[in-house]
Structure 1
């Protein structure tokens, strides 16, 4: 067996282990049995008998590619268009396209490989007034609904009450609260709250009336304003507190006044402290002096100004330093009491647009606290005013699609004066330690990066997302360097970062999530130590153990349980599959053997391609600090 074949063999095992189940296939937009593969320019091969060939016989690159194709049942291939280097390739329907793409992407003949995904027409509900709801197109709601139409997120409407019998709200309104009577009758005797509620969560795709932004959301009606639309600090504060205590995840306040109240502030802070996302209209008094409006101006409230259908701030909309977002606020068709519909104007109707989109984001990321949902809404907004935040638009005009797209990859708020990751510096050519290994001060790190005082280093971008998704501190340890440029195993320079237990390598030529790769750090350290793992004794198959024919080694307890319990995250399902564990650790390349891991410290270890397992007794298995050892082996520590 040659050393150079092991990486290929490992990839083939990953593919065979990731044969997809019907349930997994149904949950994915990837078309079973197909890949899109772009080959290196200039190859221009032909496909014969399931193998790529070029004039003069197959090259070494194509030989490796053809081996992979045989493993995944590669068959016909055709260029997607004349002059392109990208092929539509058929593979076995039993093989996961995601796993197959990951394997092929590592090959030198391949620029990238990816599943071929289904695309569908945008989800368009059949509500009869949908063509007049210009605001939905403005905030890209139709595209957002292709991601989610919203779950049963409870949104409190602190207003004049709600007409729960309206055909487009029937079944959407929960038992509520009347701040004037202390009872549960939150009927609407004004109409304002009913209009707000329809924008948020009207019954959608029911062939009648209007579409709400969050199809699945529920309305918690809180009556704090009377039939003339008036209330006071006491009634509003009571309603806010009741909503916070009775299941509201989001609280919309299309109301306000120019006098600050400690009672109202206390209620807002109380709700925010319970994890409620509070959203309020900025006010409609711009032409009357543009006063500051409360509760919108409180720090824990998302304040919303109003735009027209050309994205210009309306003449009535209050503006100021407290404004966080803008949203449509003119001619918005919605529900009116008694089963009617109409197009009211005002920031009162901009605020529920934000509340409805917040419901979509909470549906997608129920794990996030309210302040992160607020950040997503702001950071994803379309910047329509002066660059950055301004007093008219805040962070920009609401965009539902971009909010959901950001939510899918969100790891931290980028708005708090973020600083870009430092440009990676190259490793010194004389073999001395890179400057990136020196600790950095905490105050030099932007809010979009995590700082670890334990090592004095930071983590951000794609490396941070990978670290968090695939095990974090327990698997990789703390970062022990900043990013810097270093030669990889193929001799090419890549951005890398060292951790206590590993080394990350960034490959921008690969599609996410395969643009971050793990080093073969176990193999690398053994080579530096002058130890040939091919010369290690072979265990072969053992009873109760997991055998690997390619290395003639087995994993037995207690290492086997640890290997099976950890791995990269491929499929989003609970637990770790064989392929996920293999992708993280690789195959065993030694038998269990006693080694000195510290001065006078002898324990049983087993080496893997990308790890070293250590038995610390009583079934406790830890990963060796191979990242640290690699730095020491290179004389950098």
Structure 2
């Protein structure tokens, strides 16, 4: 049987009342070629050499060459590649759909709570962002979508008929843009979005690369800000890759499902595996990556993809499972971000989704979760103050791709080694750590030194600790040559909590009052604050300025919180710390570095 080389509609289960289960189909062997020439070309020679039935343009010097029946596509490709001006001649690969029945529809949309959509909708429910759904078509008359589906394109026939004769496209579109707060059915991610429907897949779920390429280019040329591709296949094609680049180079965000073949070899899935796309895997009820979701270094994010309630043709609803239905959550979230920040580029929106994700699995980016599980609220909050992407490719010792969070062997030099976490501490960071509180204040290092892109858009050397994050700023005078992150403020933002809305204590007798935040600092937290701080005046004890430089201003009054499952303590939040009063009377600092990394 030929390799599964075509575009697969990435769906595993759908139950639709009245619709019988569809037997999974195998990818058909390609019968045509996609050919690109380096220069404008008279295709007469191609027709003559291959006895082509038809040559159809797909893009700049790119053509779909339909071969006569019985001609081997491999033989034809080899022959045409002998032409001196041929850039590539690749099969018109096919990707197909698999679909089997699942349990009956349930009333609850569990995924929305997991990705913090309800809180996000308090900020925005979306505006008229154009999201292209390249799929099996869309039922534009569905009550959840009616009035917000634009005129589309059938990339198979070249017509405007985008009716959905499979159901997959309508299911994807519903998750992106089903009307919310209308008393019926479900709520999609972006209630104000408009869908640009493009039919590139047959009723069987088969989608030729040539149709998908035409669909991507048409969507790009007709106003799409986002393209959702809930389809894929295991063989890369330069023609398909070129179409993806065509879109991204013109500012379109391309979101693609990672594939459902983890148990069948877990090969990279295209177009998701192209670096220009945002590749989305599927997570389950407990935030675990599902057993079917393809994994690998190409993964950017995961989103819920199990038992997802969505729309189907004929005013119906169904449960669906697969990475096909994780991808539209990310597309819808991107549309919400674009609604509140229409000035941002697609690269910025991609960065925001990544930065705001809830880290899962190994700390930092990994091959199962990518940057983490989608968090819509955090993405919108990040977008409101976004000034540049803080992500970069970690480098240690000049070696790109080095994992700074992986344990290392004890060093041969004088760097301090911590077997508890398997990390080292040296140079300016070690001196700063030792002089300003060491283990009680900062905790163990949980990474090596590496380079990130800072909030100012420039590379900066950083190191993460259990309770903090250091930035190396040699241009500043000590002790400000090492900067401490506003980690308390950052964690509160990640949790969707606005400290400016916290209850204010005001001035209290026997306490230290901070007019800037209208909060007071009282015992026993006050003594802890006064005993600790950065060292920069050379005098015994800690001055107000030294304590302030280490912890920052108080952001809350003391409050009872569950800091970890089963651990309830009194806490007070500061710009750079969280004080915790434990039952034994000890004041400890929260492990905010670990929490920032999702540990």
Q: Which of 373, 382, 400 lines up with 1:406 in the alignment?
A: 382
The 8 Å contact of residues 424 and 495 in structure 1, kept in 2 or not, is answered as: no
The 8 Å contact of residues 106 and 319 in structure 2, kept in 1 or not, is answered as: no
Displacement of 1:344 in angstroms is 1.0
Displacement of 1:316 in angstroms is 1.3
Backbone CA RMSD of aligned residues: 3.5
Q: How does 1:84-99 map to 2 (within 5 A)?
A: none
Equivalence for 1:225: 201
Q: CA offsets, 1:63-101, max 9 Å, x none?
A: xxxxxxxxxxxxxxxxxxxxxxxxxxxxxxxxxxxxxxx
The count of corresponding residues between Structure 1 and Structure 2 is 341
Task: State the distance in 1 between where 2:211 and 2:110 align.
Answer: 34
Rate the CA distance shift 1:360–1:449 in 2: closer, same or farther, 3 A.
Answer: closer
Displacement of 1:383 in angstroms is 1.7
Task: State the distance in 2 between where 1:143 and 1:304 align.
Answer: 22
Does residue 416 (structure 1) correspond to residue 381 (structure 2)? The answer is no
Displacement of 1:240 in angstroms is 0.5
* Structure having greater relative contact order (Cα 8 Å, sep ≥ 6): 2
Equivalence for 1:367: 343
Q: How does 1:141-180 map to 2 (within 5 A)?
A: 141-180=117-156
Rate the CA distance shift 1:386–1:425 in 2: closer, same or farther, 3 A.
Answer: closer
Rate the CA distance shift 1:444–1:302 in 2: closer, same or farther, 3 A.
Answer: closer
Rate the CA distance shift 1:280–1:461 in 2: closer, same or farther, 3 A.
Answer: farther
Q: How does 1:318-467 map to 2 (within 5 A)?
A: 318-417=294-393, 446-450=452-456
The 8 Å contact of residues 286 and 315 in structure 1, kept in 2 or not, is answered as: yes
Q: Which of 241, 256, 275 lines up with 2:251 in the alignment?
A: 275
- For 1:212, what is the secondary structure of its paired residue? coil
Task: State the distance in 2 between where 1:167 and 1:266 align.
Answer: 36
Task: State the distance in 2 between where 1:328 and 1:299 align.
Answer: 22
Does residue 298 (structure 1) correspond to residue 274 (structure 2)? The answer is yes
Q: Which of 248, 251, 274 lines up with 2:227 in the alignment?
A: 251
TM-score, length basis structure 1: 0.49
Task: State the distance in 1 between where 2:114 and 2:326 align.
Answer: 12
The 8 Å contact of residues 365 and 372 in structure 2, kept in 1 or not, is answered as: yes
Task: State the distance in 1 between where 2:250 and 2:197 align.
Answer: 19
Equivalence for 2:440: none
Q: How does 1:484-633 map to 2 (within 5 A)?
A: 493=545, 508-509=552-553
Rate the CA distance shift 1:368–1:511 in 2: closer, same or farther, 3 A.
Answer: farther
Displacement of 1:308 in angstroms is 1.4
Q: CA offsets, 1:341-388, max 9 Å, x none?
A: 001111000000111111111112211111111111112111221222
Equivalence for 1:140: 116
The 8 Å contact of residues 128 and 194 in structure 2, kept in 1 or not, is answered as: yes
Q: CA offsets, 1:485-520, max 9 Å, x none?
A: 989xxx964799xxxxxxxx99932769xx9xxxxx
Equivalence for 2:168: 192
- For 1:323, what is the secondary structure of its paired residue? coil
Rate the CA distance shift 1:412–1:486 in 2: closer, same or farther, 3 A.
Answer: farther
Displacement of 1:282 in angstroms is 0.5
Displacement of 1:183 in angstroms is 2.3
Displacement of 1:320 in angstroms is 1.0
Rate the CA distance shift 1:246–1:506 in 2: closer, same or farther, 3 A.
Answer: farther
Task: State the distance in 2 between where 1:510 and 1:424 align.
Answer: 27
Task: State the distance in 2 between where 1:296 and 1:257 align.
Answer: 9
Displacement of 1:456 in angstroms is 9.9
Task: State the distance in 2 between where 1:508 and 1:183 align.
Answer: 63
Displacement of 1:131 in angstroms is 4.7
Q: How does 1:16-27 map to 2 (within 5 A)?
A: none
TM-score, length basis structure 2: 0.52
Q: CA offsets, 1:219-250, max 9 Å, x none?
A: 11011101111111111011001111111111
- For 2:331, what is the secondary structure of its paired residue? helix
Larger radius of gyration: 1
Task: State the distance in 1 between where 2:457 and 2:320 align.
Answer: 48
Displacement of 1:405 in angstroms is 1.7
Equivalence for 1:214: 190
The 8 Å contact of residues 225 and 253 in structure 2, kept in 1 or not, is answered as: yes
Q: Which of 203, 210, 232 lines up with 1:234 in the alignment?
A: 210
Displacement of 1:138 in angstroms is 1.1
Task: State the distance in 1 between where 2:430 and 2:392 align.
Answer: 23
- For 1:338, what is the secondary structure of its paired residue? coil
- For 1:367, what is the secondary structure of its paired residue? coil
**Structure 1 unpaired stretches of 5+:** 1-128, 427-442, 464-483, 497-504, 516-637
Q: Which of 205, 228, 234 lines up with 2:181 in the alignment?
A: 205
The 8 Å contact of residues 130 and 210 in structure 1, kept in 2 or not, is answered as: no
Displacement of 1:394 in angstroms is 1.1
**Structure 2 unpaired stretches of 5+:** 1-104, 396-403, 405-427, 433-448, 460-472, 487-533, 538-542, 557-574, 576-599
Task: State the distance in 2 between where 1:351 and 1:228 align.
Answer: 21
Task: State the distance in 2 between where 1:142 and 1:228 align.
Answer: 35
Please state which structure has a larger fraction of its residues in helix: 1
Displacement of 1:412 in angstroms is 2.1
Rate the CA distance shift 1:246–1:449 in 2: closer, same or farther, 3 A.
Answer: same
Rate the CA distance shift 1:166–1:410 in 2: closer, same or farther, 3 A.
Answer: same
The 8 Å contact of residues 379 and 395 in structure 1, kept in 2 or not, is answered as: yes
Rate the CA distance shift 1:495–1:177 in 2: closer, same or farther, 3 A.
Answer: farther
Displacement of 1:330 in angstroms is 1.0
The 8 Å contact of residues 127 and 192 in structure 2, kept in 1 or not, is answered as: yes
